[in-house]
Amino acid sequence: MTCRLPTLAALLCMAVSGCAATTAGTAMPAERVLLTTADALPTLLLSASDVGTALASDDVVVTSDVTKAWNDSGRLADVNCLAVAGAAQQSVYADSGSTAVHGQVVRDPPTAPAWSHYAVQAVVLFPTAQAAAEFFTTSQQRWAGCSNRELTYPQPLGPEQVWSVGQTSTDRDVLAVSRVQENPEKWSCQRALTVHSNVAVDVEACSLDGPTSAAAAIAGQIAGRLPAA
């Protein structure tokens, strides 16, 4: 019988006639991460009511339902900071290896005289949990590079929008950063990103009522519907 022992023990074994080693137990397959499929993405998003609860509003509705990433690159002066400026952006995911997207815009009804609450919730599929985890690590670096500074949004009519970006943080595996509009209005927004299994949860939430942590809350609830990697 061939000896299957650590190297030193194996050398000793060679000097002893009839040496053998037996290991008791049952072989078990390696644990496999449960992967989400593209068909399951729509079921992960929160209802308008649940998003409204996070936004502290009981009057928001889904106004857009999409299956591709948004492209706001033409609206921001520094496209390198597009990741903190909006959720699920095309250029942000372009080289990430992602394979599918499902997202929604949730805000005050179109019949409302003015907006005061707004959110984008999106789930992005990766082929493996490792690919999603790598995207999260890259995002932490990109977001940090755009923190503690101002972002400007040129406007076709009127003055440009100016936003102040805060410090990024990661709490309970949720990456988050806040943005506050300096002019012409005073929107307060939060961006949040988390990854579970092979899905990235990408959220933006905004309010005219003051600072909000709704994006992190929404992202956390969606992530709770996913298997942990």
> What share of the chain has pLDDT > 90, as a percent?
73
165-220, pLDDT tens digit by residue? 999 999 999 999 999 999 888 999 999 999 999 999 999 999 999 999 999 999 99
Residue 146 confidence class, pLDDT cut points 50, 70, 90: very high
Residue 1 confidence class, pLDDT cut points 50, 70, 90: very low
- Residue-wise burial string across 38-59, b where 16 or more C-beta atoms lie within 10 A, e elsewhere: eebbeebbbebebbbbbbebee
* CATH superfamily of domain region 31-223: PknH-like extracellular domain (3.40.1000.70)
What is the predicted pLDDT for the residue at 21? 45
Residue 4 has pLDDT above 70, yes or no: no
Residue whose tokens read 């033409």: 74
92-143, pLDDT tens digit by residue? 999 999 999 999 999 999 999 888 999 999 999 999 999 999 999 999 999 9
Q: CA 155, 156, 157 angle in degrees (round to 5)? A: 90
Residue spans of the domains in the chain: they are: 31-223
What is the predicted pLDDT for the residue at 116? 95
Residue 32 confidence class, pLDDT cut points 50, 70, 90: low
Supply the DSSP symbol for 6: -
Comparing CA positions, the residue from 163, 180, 52 lying closest to residue 118 is 52
What is the predicted pLDDT for the residue at 27? 46
